[in-house]
Amino acid sequence: MRVEKYHLKTESTFTRFEFVSEGPKGAIRKLIEFQETTNSQIFNLAFGDYDPQTKEINDLAVSDNGDTEKILGTVVSALYVFLNEFPDVYVYAAGSTKARTRLYRMGITKFYEQMKNDFYLYGQIGDEFPDFEIGIDYEGFLAQRKFKKKEL
């Protein structure tokens, strides 16, 4: 994807990423976590502002720092890194609100041509996950890397 991104920091397990959003509201620390679910083949993508009180993600915070596209590009960069490390798993993502889920759909749509080359993409409708199609409202999204990491 050719979009500006923030520099990501991660730890050795490649499941937690951090970056700083820069904009009119100042420097805002952001976290991305790939969290295990009850299904060992599916990880949940959690994203939001870093809450210094809990040291966790606040996925309801509204930063409004004027850098939405750069943030989405950064989250997708973390998705690439994570799925390069764990190529056989799926990543599930849904917004903490309907508006955020719509924002994710708009981001996928904007970069769909590139993403469909690298990921199997599915949209959630109830308990079903049909192939992602542009123009359909989904409750969540599922992605898996198409190309497996090559062994040396």
Q: What is the pLDDT of residues 20-37, one digit of tens each?
A: 999 999 999 999 999 999
Domain holding 34, by residue range, is: 9-145
Rounded-to-integer distance, Cα 44 and Cα 51, Å? 19
Chain segment 64-88, per-residue pLDDT in tens: 898 988 998 899 899 999 999 999 9
Per the confidence metrics, is the pTM higher than 0.75?
A: yes
| Structural domains in the chain (count) | 1
Rounded-to-integer distance, Cα 25 and Cα 120, Å? 36
Residue 152 lies in a domain: no
Rounded-to-integer distance, Cα 57 and Cα 142, Å? 21
3-state secondary structure of 54: coil
Residue 37 lies in a domain: yes
Highest-scoring range by mean pLDDT, 35-44, 109-118, 142-151: 35-44
Residue 4 lies in a domain: no
Residue 86 lies in a domain: yes
